């Protein structure tokens, strides 16, 4: 069995975290799966992304605020 891989957060030349995050970084920060991320996005429960030259990124502060407030969890039926 292989060990799960984690992605290192993107940093600036000075070693500080970048202001924008890829979806994979945001998911890891929130500790949620790709499928749950997609479901939250489809339901409009994630912050609005920033689109730059065809790339989709999320503001680090928006993701950190979401983590502090708590990620919406699946409702039990």
The percentage of residues in the chain with a pLDDT greater than 90, rounded to a whole number, is 68
pLDDT at 62 over 80: yes
Q: Region 57-74: what's the mean pLDDT?
A: 92
Average pLDDT of the residues of the chain = 85
Residue 38 lies in a domain: yes
| Packing angle, helices 23-30 and 60-69, rounded to 10 | 20
The domain in which residue 27 lies consists of 20-69
Query: Which residue in this structure is represented by tokens 């799960």?
Result: 4
Per-residue pLDDT of 22-37, as tens digits, reads 999 999 999 999 999 9
Q: In total, how many domains does the chain have?
A: 1
pTM: 0.75
Residue 51 lies in a domain: yes
């Amino acid at each position: 069995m292989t060990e799960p891989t984690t992605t290192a957060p993107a940093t600036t030349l000075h070693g500080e975290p970048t202001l924008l995050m890829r979806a994979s970084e945001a998911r890891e920060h929130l500790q949620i799966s790709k499928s749950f991320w997609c479901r939250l996005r489809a339901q409009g429960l994630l912050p609005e992304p920033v689109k730059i030259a065809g790339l989709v990124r999320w503001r680090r502060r928006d993701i950190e605020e979401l983590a502090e407030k708590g990620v919406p969890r699946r409702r039990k039926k």
